[in-house]
Structure 1
Amino acid sequence: MSDEMIKCTNVSFKYIKDSEGIKEEKYAVNGVNLEVKKGEFLVVLGHNGSGKSTMAKHMNALLVPTEGTVVVDNLDTSDPQNVWSIRSKAGMVFQNPDNQLVATIVEEDVAFGPENLGIEPLEIRKRVDESLEKVGMSKYKRHAPHLLSGGQKQRIAIAGILAIQPKCIIFDEPTAMLDPSGRREVLKTIKDLNKKHGITIVLITHYMDEAAQADRIIVMDGGKIKMEGTPRDIFPQVERMKKIGLDVPQVTELAYELKKSGIYINEKILNVDEMVNALCQLK
């Protein structure tokens, strides 16, 4: 058995752009090689149009590459017979929680996925309870989803994916429409699923503080992977990140500026506590 959850080999995806009657082929993704290990927490960064969302949609066969192959848990996404198996192994959570909720009661919403897979009712009941427990939403199971906060809705959407028992979940900017407390709730849920339950996570985000918590980061630009490494490898490269049009966590940027002005400080700082320690050591 391989330890790869997802393997992308020379993946390109072309689409036809029609500008003022002139049709031209454009690459949304161009020659990407990427492996996601089982149990990994991988973050994909990139500005709008970098190809990161297109890449995400290849990971559960919503899109099939124009060239190259995507293999999810040993299943090739280009084989139509694999599609349902792939989607039950690799679930996907999108930006807008309102677009993902289908029922008028929370527990019915969470049951929707396993019902579609033909799971028997007793097993569905068990999965719904377990999934709501994992996202900390058990006490809301009889509530109407539309009355919940954005962060709570997103956690219900995650529970709905968990109920199909995937090995991997791909999150496409799941906190983009949430307020700061909703963002914190959802990120905590994502980290728990990864660390406590061993679910492989691919998180697409434009929040650097979220990316700082990943095992590994991939930076995309112009449909290609431009940088790859741990957060401590990636973020100190402030100039390079800015050139691509991305920020770094504020504390990393502060360390970079302090160093530039002659105060020697470890530039591989990712959070406030580390910054406080580093400044205390300067005395």
Structure 2
Amino acid sequence: MGKIIEAHNIQFQYKNNEDETMLALNDVTVSVEPGEFIVVIGHNGSGKSTLAKHMNALLLPSEGDVFVKGLNTKDEEHIWDIRQTAGMVFQNPDNQLVATIVEEDIAFGPENLGIPPVEIVKRVEEALSIVDMMEYRGKAPHLLSGGQKQRIAIAGVIAMRPDCIIFDEPTAMLDPSGRREVIKTIHKLNKEENITIVHITHFMEEAVHADRVIVMEAGQIVLEGKPKEVFSKVEELKALGLDVPQMTDLANELIKEGIDLPQDILTVDEMVMRLCQLK
């Protein structure tokens, strides 16, 4: 199977308030394999959300090309096919909730695709089950917590049966409990439903279980690799104004104090195991 998403040397220009031409993306090339779980990190203004919006044709490159399952996002006749292949979940779930009842909201997308009613019912139940929200199917979305609303927004995308879901900082507006709910759902989609995930975030802990981490700065990809490879570059990341996972930061400080630890520790469990192995 070919790549789900391919971006070739893309630039994205825009005008600022002074009518100056700015580059939000500058010669970015990246690809996403089927079933992959990619996390994109970077501080505000780095270009990560702009890149996300190019992956399902919400934005079109000023130069270069983006292909979604072989379809060029610049070809208007393929826009709906592209957005069915690569669904998107945004930062604020209220912007994606359109109905007064949860199950009606999830049915909205398939209805617009002309899916038969019997199939829509099946898809709604399937999507609710995947995000563990079946008991809320008859509820009003505005009565739900932030994390629950975001899971309903995710269910609405799942009901469209995408191959890939792009999450644009989906936990940024949530409390810790809501964040855990949504991250658990995202991992379930990838591991159990085999949906390709592109997750944009500024929470470093959300990146530790990714297959690949991409770091952006000034509209370019400046680091890329497995989480252990990327987060072991503690000083480089901090120079970019980024944090690292807490355990990685702790390991780095302990190493400075002369304790023999690897630099690529990411989780509490890894830290405990490594400390127990010290003589």
- Deviations for 1:61-107, whole angstroms, at most 9, x for unmatched residues? 00010000000011100001110000011000000011110101000
Q: Does residue 1:270 correspond to 2:269, yes or no?
A: no
User: What is the deviation of 1:240?
Assistant: 0.3
Read off the aligned partner of 1:5 and give its amino acid letter: I
Matched, 1:31 2:27: yes
**1: distance between equivalents of 2:214 and 2:276?**
32
> Which one-letter code corresponds to 2:234 in the other structure?
V
Residues 1-283 of structure 1 aligned to structure 2 (within 5 Å): 1-2=1-2, 4-19=3-18, 23-283=19-279
Scaled by the length of structure 2, the TM-score of the pair is: 0.99
Distance across 1 between alignment mates of 2:223 and 2:262: 21
CA deviation vs aligned residue, 1:179-237 (integer Å, no higher than 9, x gap):
10110010000000000011000000000110111110000000000000000001010
Aligned residue pairs, count: 279
Shift of 1:262: 0.8
1:88 partner letter: Q
Instruction: Show structure 2 runs of 5+ residues with no match.
Output: none
**Paired residue secondary structure (2:20):** strand
**Aligned partner letter, 2:226:** T
SS of the equivalent of 1:64 reads coil
Partners of 1:78 and 1:239 in 2: CA distance: 39
Give me the whole-angstrom Cα distance separating, in 2, the residues matched to 1:214 and 1:166: 20
Cα distance in 2 between the residues matched to 1:140 and 1:225: 41
Instruction: Give a deviation string over 1:18-63, Cα, whole Å, max 9, x none.
Output: 32xxx21100000000011110000000000000000000000000
Task: Give the Cα separation in 1 of the matches to 2:41 and 2:261.
Answer: 26
State the identity %. Answer: 64
Unaligned runs of 5+ in 1: none
How far, CA to CA, are the matches of 2:180 and 2:27 in structure 1? Answer: 34
Q: Secondary structure at the match of 2:16?
A: strand
**TM-score, structure 1 length as denominator?**
0.98
Aligned partner of residue 71 in structure 1, secondary structure: strand
Q: Which consecutive segments of 4 or more residues in structure 1 shift more than 6 A?
A: none
User: Within 1, Cα distance between the matches of 2:154 and 2:79?
Assistant: 20
The one-letter amino acid paired with 2:15 is I
